[in-house]
A and B are shown apart, each in its own frame.
Chain A
């Protein structure tokens, strides 16, 4: 996608001076052609080029070239995922290069939450060796059960087979394995292709029990119970009929092309005791598994978190209101339950006061987009985060929001349409995600070095490092 628009006027005489000047390859004439090709402005670095001797606009003998921000760029993105942020994520995913910590694309312009939180960083970066830095997250902080550490402070959030393509699933799992972390299946099981990677897969159990079988539970090292989802808290999961292709339906043991509804809530769980029984049921099938409770963020989120702990959860996963989804009513995304930024410190401090913070792994999700959002969530009190949308963006998502309908994603990411999903392969996808993770890790390492820390767990709950700037948000409803 081009950020800038380079316009060549009719007065161009195809002298091709620009071609010889531009080191980025914007201008090109094919050997034998009389006229130069239209500018390939995807390669252009924009007005910043003015400082260079080779700036084509200034050098053109007939003044035929002009440069402006492209309309495409202006139509991309939204206040939460700005065009800058999407392009930066694509760049990170292509190159693996870290985004400078002061780059504007590290935050959105939604006027609140992460977008108004800044980490106070000392100016100078001391010399550091990334290999000495730890960015890992402990997933089991209770006395019993398997110790599991991920090498990065995140794991991949639930996106079901059906809501996303098998290539996307496989890409996420392959990348997760490389980084010693996990990917949640979402509710819908996982196809055979993923079975060899089951060590890196979290099986999600939600009310529809789609794709949940004894063997999937037995294979999983971590079992996630989805009590609610941030984007549609208190509402159920929903896969629209068109996306329920025969493959998906087989996995879910359902009738193809019918809408699949996974209703809220678990009617068998009305108390902490029920909650524990629910966990016990899973443990009776796989006694070694770690248990995660995925909940959203109501007013009493801290009580819910404490309840989950006493029921036996190793991981308490808070999913905030502004999180991702494959299909949700618009009214629920914005209006029901609070944004994650408010919930993390609330829960963190409550668990501290209860004296059980050290025994719980608190992970957060719901609108965590960049490496710096991750760091901010950790500084607010989470041990780590769960990612989702940022991975899809890395894979080429432009957040057009058409994942739910018809054949699904026009770009082949969140679809099970056999034709559309051919647009990408899992090999490409996993290297893209690998790049994104490298880039994020490099950002965290620099951040830790600046703060003179060597382990990201030292950052947990360091709200003293955060500054919150109040700025009136006026563009609401846009």
Chain B
């Protein structure tokens, strides 16, 4: 058999939104406007135009074109124009899902492009969680650079399943080790359709189509498996089995490669039956992250679990009052498995709180093999992240979107995020996402920098 060289590529196309874009800034025209038209000449984005019905008057500013350059405001002879923060924009966003991040995702899902702008960084110096780390870069080179501009190839593949730490051979030369099920996906991102509220069928279908196109996995509730597995998506579908389901009662579509079970405190009793039933599949266990999750995961590894899917809160925190951020939690998990010398025997997936492209490489650096995209998938569909999600009153009427629109938007988002992962890998001089995993040494942590910094200030307060 010959295998042709094939370079993984996510096709991107422009997929216009269905709802009007929420402008970050709004320009208003006061009554003292004398319709002189200076603003029309000043604006290069077409915000100001004369009224179509009465050319003697200026029309209302078209705010979605505004790029906040203030030129019309500075040039208005009457001082009649005012720029203010968009009310709707300002009221968007909760927790790590800020208005800025949501609007970035909308843009990425629409164009599939990496957000590129002029002018330097404009945010806070540092912050909590993933905002308290920087990735390293390599000043003087290693080969690589760069997947997106078409030179050397950077692999973003990830392995799903248990990789035996060593192989045993028979005297005849054949492998004696019983090889566990193991497969590879071309991107370290999987789609999770179980974490958000019950999805309308069109969205579910769209996510499954996207997973197939991206050749990644989609996690779906058990009772929706057969629907999602239509159209040859079986290999992508991962049924998520509720806790305490009798494994022998399950009928899974042919071609399913992986199955995930939700567990609670009594998981130990069920594990044996599960791994025995699904001998030929990768068995993943979904575990809600709480403090000390690394101990549980090591126990699970002992019981033969090949994949731990660690679920963090929407803000990327462990559950419970003393929960840590995924950044620390994942580092603890990775370190635990490394010190047991068994890191590669388990795939660690992490979901929750992944609200921006940079969270993907940062999760991987902290120790995740693969990240689960959940809420970001909905945001890609222009979801406004309402507190009460109700398909009937959905402000963007998500249930009327076509599955192909859903799939294209999600492919764009994943494509843009993968390209940004490539940027980070290129800057670090790495040619494989696998080698990024657990590379704490190639990250720069706020805590460490602050400690060094304060100790270098002779007059500084020391902590």
Contact = CB atoms under 8 A, between A and B. Distances in A.
Contact of A338 (B361, B444, B460): B444
A265 B68 contact: no
A74 interface: yes
A330 B104 contact: yes
A410 B67 contact: yes
Does more than half of chain B's interface fall in helix, strand or loop, or is it mixed?
loop
A321 interface: yes
A204 interface: no
B79 A463 contact: no
A311 to B, nearest CB: 10
Given A331-B423, A345-B456, A74 B140 contact: no
Nearest to B113: A329
Residue of A264, A304, A341, A366 contacting most chain B CB atoms (<10 Å) = A264
A192 B370 CA distance: 54
A21 B325 CA distance: 59
B124 A414 contact: no
A2 B114 CA distance: 35
B32 interface: yes
A285 B384 CA distance: 60
B432 interface: no
B457 interface: yes
A113 B127 contact: no
Contact of B69 (A38, A329, A402): A402
Given A342-B453, A466-B457, A477-B100, A71 B121 contact: no
Interface stretch (A228-236, A355-363, A446-454): A228-236
Interface stretch (A51-59, A78-86, A178-186, A429-437): A78-86
A27 B312 CA distance: 59
Contacts of A470: 450, 461, 463
A159 to B, nearest CB: 11
Given A331-B114, A463-B456, A265 B141 contact: yes
B149 to A, nearest CB: 6
Given A263-B146, A468-B457, A478-B100, A228 B137 contact: yes
Contacts of A406: 44
A227 B460 CA distance: 33
Contacts, number: 288
A181 to B, nearest CB: 22
B98 A345 contact: no
A346 B452 contact: yes
Interface residues of B, number: 80
A465 B459 contact: yes
Contacts of A476: 123-124, 126-128, 131
Contacts of A345: 453, 456-457
B73 A335 contact: no
A321 B80 CA distance: 39
Contact of B119 (A74, A403, A478): A403
B423 A75 contact: no
Interface in B351-399: 355-358, 361-362
Interface of A: 1-2, 5, 38-42, 70-72, 74-76, 78-81, 110-113, 115-116, 120, 227-228, 231, 233-236, 238, 261, 263-267, 269-271, 275, 295-296, 298-301, 304, 307, 321-339, 341-342, 345-346, 349, 366-367, 389, 397-407, 409-411, 414, 420, 463-470, 473-478
Interface of B: 25, 32, 43-45, 67-71, 73-74, 78-80, 82-85, 96, 98, 100-101, 104, 114-128, 131, 134-141, 145-146, 149, 151, 355-358, 361-362, 420, 423-424, 426-429, 441-442, 444, 449-450, 452-454, 456-461, 463
For the complex of A and B, the 5 pairs showing the least CB-CB separation, nearest first, are A476-B127, A234-B427, A112-B125, A403-B118, A234-B137
